[in-house]
Amino acid sequence: MSRFFSFLCIFFLCLSFQGYGQKKDKKQSDDVIESSLKISDLCKREESVEKIKADVTPFKLDKISTQKIHYKSYSQVVEFAVPIYHSTKYKFIINSEGMPTNVDIRLSDKPHKQSSAKILKESSDKHLSYESPEDYSGTRIYVTIKIPADKEYQNDVRNRGCIVIGSGYSDLDF
Bond into 100 cis (ω within 30)? no
Among 48, 88, 96, 129, binds other proteins (CB under 8 A): 88
The reply on whether position 158 binds other proteins by CB under 8 A is yes
Stretch that binds other proteins, among 38-46, 94-102, 120-128 (CB under 8 A): 38-46
Q: How far is the CB of 122 from other proteins (least distance, A)?
A: 17
Stretch that binds other proteins, among 19-27, 99-107, 124-132 (CB under 8 A): 19-27
Rounded Cα distance between 116 and 9, Å, is: 63
- Residue 105 is which amino acid? I
The reply on whether position 99 binds other proteins by CB under 8 A is no
Stretch that binds other proteins, among 75-83, 96-104, 121-129 (CB under 8 A): 75-83
Stretch that binds other proteins, among 30-38, 97-105, 118-126, 127-135 (CB under 8 A): 30-38
SS3 labels along 106-173: EEECCCCCCCCCCEEEEECCCEEEEECCCCCCCCEEEEEEEECCCCCHHHCEEEEEEEEEEEEEECCC
Rounded Cα distance between 71 and 158, Å, is: 7
For residues 165 and 93, the answer to whether their CB atoms sit within 8 Å is: yes
Alpha carbon of residue 147 to chain centroid = 11
Chain residues binding other proteins by CB under 8 A are 2, 5, 8-9, 12-13, 15-20, 23, 27, 30-31, 33-34, 37, 39, 41, 45, 49, 61-70, 72, 76, 78-83, 85-88, 111, 113, 137-140, 142, 158, 165, 169, 172-174
